[in-house]
């Protein structure tokens, strides 16, 4: 029973992170149908920002996690910069495929750029302690508060995003853009600034994900976004990409699958099963767990 609880907790811990990252993927995809592969690297940008800002916070006597505010600003700027410099010109001239390739290029560009900056450099950096240790007992196993906080934050972010897209004028504009850009323009919606805003919010989320990631896995390195981003992307697809609650569900499912495979099947097969589950789900339900099958718009 202890093994079960332990495995469950590890699964939730991984899953909560994947869910937070997946929310960023799904949001951008939902609006402009672009799989922003650079999203994982925005997390790296947020991670390094906090590595540099946290010592300042501590020196000012503030809690280290307040560094996330700086990270949100930096990430949002980087995200919007990416949209302005890379994605928008490409979208204007090319197709969805060219935009996708640009996203992959952007991801590699950010990773290598970070490495070339002397203050970041090639060495991994380890953050200082972000939240205090502690947790509550589940059987004999400790459930850390950090994991709970991460899950709660994911939940809040999910609800806020959902409410934002459903209830506010800007959110409604986003949904319009995602349905039909031309019609949205005719309705007086500024398509370009709506997309820019989407990137700002999506990248800001990456900073929050980076904070929660570092609180549990305190190592930051330039390629950290690669596998993390891939797993989160899989989570988003599994839950139904473009659907906000789907990202959270998918993230937690992927985390649990990974953890339970490690404990009960084979510890080196975790990734194999993650991707196997993805294939199986996509065969049975191509639009993802929460997705509805809608015909492709022409």
Partner 1 sequence: MKSKKLISVMIALCMLLSLGITGITATAFAADDPIVIGIISPNTGTLAAYGTGIVTGVQLAAEEINAAGGILGRQVELVITDDQGDPTECLNAFNSLVAKGVTLIIGSATSGCTSAITDAANEEEVCILCPTGTADSLTTEDDYIFRACYADSFQGAIAAAYAKQAGFEKVGVVYCAADVYSKGLFDSFSKACEEYGIEVAASQSTASLDVQDYTNQFAAMVSAGVDFVYAPYYYDVIGPYVVPQARAAGYTGIIMGADGYDTTPDYVVAGADLTVFNDVYWTNHYDPGADSEIVRSFVAAYEAAYGSIPSAFGATGYDCLYIYKAAMEAAGSADAGDVRDALADTSTVYECVTGTFSLDESGTPVKGAAIISFQSDGSAVTSTLVDVVTQLP
Query: Which chain residues interact with partner 1 by CB under 8 A?
Result: 2-3, 6-7, 9-10, 13-14, 115, 121-124, 126-129, 133, 140-142, 144, 217-219, 221, 223, 227, 259, 262-263, 266-272
**Cα separation, 200 vs 198, whole angstroms:** 5
Between CA 114 and CA 104 the distance in angstroms is 16
Nearest-approach distance from CB 3 to partner 1, in angstroms = 6
CA gap 184, 175 in Å, rounded:
9
CB of 268 to partner 1, least distance (A): 4
User: Is residue 174 within 8 Å of residue 162, measured between CB atoms?
Assistant: no
Please enumerate in sequence order all residues whose Cβ is within 8 A of that of 96, keeping only pairs 6 or more positions apart, or say none: 33, 34
Give the residue with the Cβ less far from partner 1, 134 or 295: 134
In the complex, the smallest distance separating the C-beta of residue 258 from partner 1, rounded to whole angstroms, is: 8
Contact 144, 252 (CB under 8 A): no
Q: Which C-beta is closer to partner 1: that of 117 or that of 187?
A: 117
Nearest distance from residue 290's CB to partner 1, in Å? 26
**By the 8 A CB rule, do 270 and 181 touch?**
no
Roughly what angle, to the nearest 10 degrees, separates helices 39-59 and 191-216? 60
116/156 with CB nearer partner 1:
116
The values of phi and psi at residue 136, to 5°, are: -120, 160
Asked if 154 and 163 count as a contact pair (C-beta separation under 8 A), the reply is no
Minimal distance, residue 2 CB to partner 1, in Å: 7
| Minimum CB distance to partner 1, residue 46 (Å) | 17
Closer to partner 1 by Cβ: residue 116 or 160: 116
How far is Cα of residue 223 from the mean position of the Cα atoms in its chain?
15
Beta carbon nearer to partner 1, 2 or 96: 2
Contacts of residue 185, Cβ cutoff 8 Å, sequence gap at least 6: 191
Closer of 170 and 256 to partner 1 (Cβ): 256
């Amino acid at each position: 029973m202890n093994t079960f609880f332990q495995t469950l907790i590890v699964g939730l811990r991984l899953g909560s992170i994947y869910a937070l990252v997946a929310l960023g993927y799904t949001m951008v995809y939902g609006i402009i149908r672009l799989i922003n592969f650079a999203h994982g690297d925005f997390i790296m940008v947020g991670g390094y920002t906090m590595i540099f800002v946290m010592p300042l916070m501590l020196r000012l006597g503030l809690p280290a996690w307040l560094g996330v505010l700086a990270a949100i600003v930096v990430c949002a700027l980087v995200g919007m910069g990416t949209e302005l410099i890379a994605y928008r010109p490409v979208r204007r001239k090319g197709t969805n495929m060219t935009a996708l390739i640009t996203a992959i290029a952007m991801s590699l560009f950010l990773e290598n750029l970070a490495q070339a900056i002397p203050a970041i450099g090639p060495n991994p950096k380890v953050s200082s302690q972000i939240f205090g240790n502690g947790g509550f007992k589940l059987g004999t196993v400790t459930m850390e508060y950090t994991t709970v906080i991460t899950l709660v934050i994911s939940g809040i972010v999910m609800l806020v995003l959902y409410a934002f897209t459903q209830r506010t004028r800007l959110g409604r504009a986003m949904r319009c853009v995602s349905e039909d850009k031309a019609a949205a323009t005719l309705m007086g919606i500024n398509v370009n600034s709506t997309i820019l805003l989407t990137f700002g919010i999506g990248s800001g989320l990456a900073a929050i994900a980076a904070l929660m990631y570092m609180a549990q896995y305190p190592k930051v390195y330039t390629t950290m976004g690669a596998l993390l981003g891939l797993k989160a992307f899989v989570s988003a697809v599994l839950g139904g990409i473009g659907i906000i609650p789907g990202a959270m569900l998918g993230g937690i499912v992927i985390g649990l699958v990974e953890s339970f495979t490690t404990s009960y099947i084979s510890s080196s097969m975790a990734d194999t099963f993650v991707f196997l589950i993805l294939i199986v789900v996509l065969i049975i339900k191509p639009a993802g767990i929460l997705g509805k099958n809608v015909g492709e718009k022409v």
